[in-house]
Amino acid sequence: MDKAQVGNVTTPLPRGEGQGGESTFDSIRPFNNDEVKPAIESLLNDRQFSRILKRILPLLPLGMSRGVLKLATLGIHSTLDFQLRFMKPVVNYILRNCSTGHTFIHDGIRPGKERYTFISNHRDIVLDSAILDVILHNAKFPTTCEIAIGDNLLIYPWIKTLVRLNKAFIVRRNISRRELLESSMLMSRYMHHVINEKHENIWIAQREGRAKDSSDQTQVSLLKMLAMSDADHPLERIKSLHVVPLSISYEYDPCDYLKAKEFQQKRDDAQWKKSKQDDLTNMKTGIFGQKGHVHYQTGRPVNEWIDELKDVDKAEFFTILAQRIDYEIHHNYRLFPSNYVAADLLAGQPNHANRYTHKDKVAFEKYLKDRIALVDLPNRDEAFLRERLLTMYANPVRNYEATL
| Contact assessment for residue 237 and residue 227, using Cβ atoms and an 8 Å cutoff | yes
Centre a 10 Å sphere on the Cβ of residue 55 and count the other Cβ atoms it contains: 11
pLDDT band at 9 (very low <50, low <70, confident <90, very high): very low
| pLDDT value for 193 | 96
Cα–Cα separations (whole angstroms), residue 201 to 51, 109, 128, 197, 346: 32, 12, 15, 11, 39
What spatial distance separates the first Cα and last Cα of the chain, rounded to whole Å?
Answer: 31
Mean pLDDT of 136-143: 96
pTM for this predicted structure: 0.91
Question: DSSP letter at 167?
Answer: T
Q: How many helices (H) and strands (E) does the chain have?
A: 17, 7
Q: Any idea where the domains of the chain sit in the sequence?
A: 3-254+289-333, 339-401
Cα–Cα distance for residue pair 160/149, rounded to 1 Å: 10
pLDDT tens per residue, range 206-222: 998 899 999 999 999 99
Which carries the bigger pLDDT value, residue 131 or residue 275?
131
Q: Helix H segments across 139-275?
A: 157-165, 177-193, 220-227, 234-239, 256-268
pLDDT tens per residue, range 277-336: 898 899 999 999 999 999 999 999 999 999 999 999 988 999 999 999 999 999 999 999
| pLDDT value for 338 | 98
pLDDT band at 385 (very low <50, low <70, confident <90, very high): very high
Task: Say yes or no to pLDDT of 160 above 70.
Answer: yes
Task: Say yes or no to pLDDT of 163 above 90.
Answer: yes
Cα–Cα separations (whole angstroms), residue 341 to 250, 290, 324, 386: 15, 19, 28, 13
Task: Say yes or no to pLDDT of 256 above 80.
Answer: yes
CB burial of 316-350 (b: ≥16 within 10 Å; e: otherwise) equals ebbeebbebbbbbbbbbbbbbbbbbbbbbbbeeee
Cα–Cα distance for residue pair 288/381, rounded to 1 Å: 26
* Residue 78 identity (one-letter amino acid): S
pLDDT tens per residue, range 63-114: 445 566 676 677 899 999 999 988 898 899 999 999 999 999 999 899 988 9
Cα–Cα separations (whole angstroms), residue 5 to 135, 163, 181, 222: 37, 29, 6, 12
pLDDT band at 54 (very low <50, low <70, confident <90, very high): low
| pLDDT value for 68 | 63
Nearest-CA neighbor of 397 among 354, 337, 349?
337
Q: Helix H segments across 276-336?
A: 276-288, 314-331
- Residue 15, SS3? coil
- pLDDT > 70: percent of the chain: 90
* Fold observed for domain 3-254+289-333: Glycerol-3-phosphate (1)-acyltransferase (3.40.1130)
Cα of 18 vs its chain's centroid, Å: 26
| pLDDT value for 32 | 96
